[in-house]
Structure 1
Amino acid sequence: MDVDLISKALANPTRRQILEWLKKPQQYLSEEQCGGFSRGICAGNIEKLGNVSQSTMSNHLSVLQQSGLIQAEKYGQWSYFSRNEILIQQYIEYLQNSL
């Protein structure tokens, strides 16, 4: 776990919002839009929620992926993103124990 990389990723409000969308996708999207939530949320739907350009959202998703906070799975031409709950919990425990 790279604490500095995770902290840097979380410093941006858009990236924190992406993590919230991934945590509770049913509050922001219908299952029909996503074909269910078992795979996570499609990059295109995250982009629409963020109301930013594809390249900007791609950058945010890349930073979150590099930090380990999210995971991506390819299904055909689509990428689906989900939270890495284990790492998120480890980070929370680290903060609780070290600060």
Structure 2
Amino acid sequence: MNTNVSDTLKALDNPTRLAILGWLKNPRENFPGQEVDPEQVGVCVSAIQERVGLSQSTVSLYLASLQRARLVTSKRVGPWTYYKRHGENISTYLENLEALI
């Protein structure tokens, strides 16, 4: 199996990580009240943590896993980190997965 596809499947093999990725698809709707434009900058870790209801350290680990799989990107703004989906990489992953099955 393609290593990138395998690594991505591992990152998605968690209901919470999968939910986070799904919520980031419509950040304005799923994370209202952001101080920055969630479409451009992303969603603050604290907003994701509040929605998920888990500790910040757990949410940070989940986001790091999604980032290693190249499904999300992060951006630091002052002391905060914002995450958004990496649409191009998600599309490439889906194409690679389809080629395998």
TM-score calculated relative to the size of structure 2: 0.89
**C-alpha separation in 2, matches of 1:2 and 1:95:** 10
The answer (yes or no) to whether the contact 2:34–2:43 under 8 Å persists in 1 is: no
Structure 1 or 2: more helix by fraction: 1
Q: How does 1:1-99 map to 2 (within 5 A)?
A: 2-30=4-32, 32-37=33-38, 38-99=40-101
Aligned length: 98
Aligned-pair identity (%): 36
Uncovered stretches (5+) of structure 2, i.e. residues with no partner: none
Uncovered stretches (5+) of structure 1, i.e. residues with no partner: none
The answer (yes or no) to whether the contact 2:25–2:85 under 8 Å persists in 1 is: yes
TM-score calculated relative to the size of structure 1: 0.91
* Structure 1 outlier segments of 4+, above 2 Å: 32-36
Cα RMSD over matched residues? 1.3
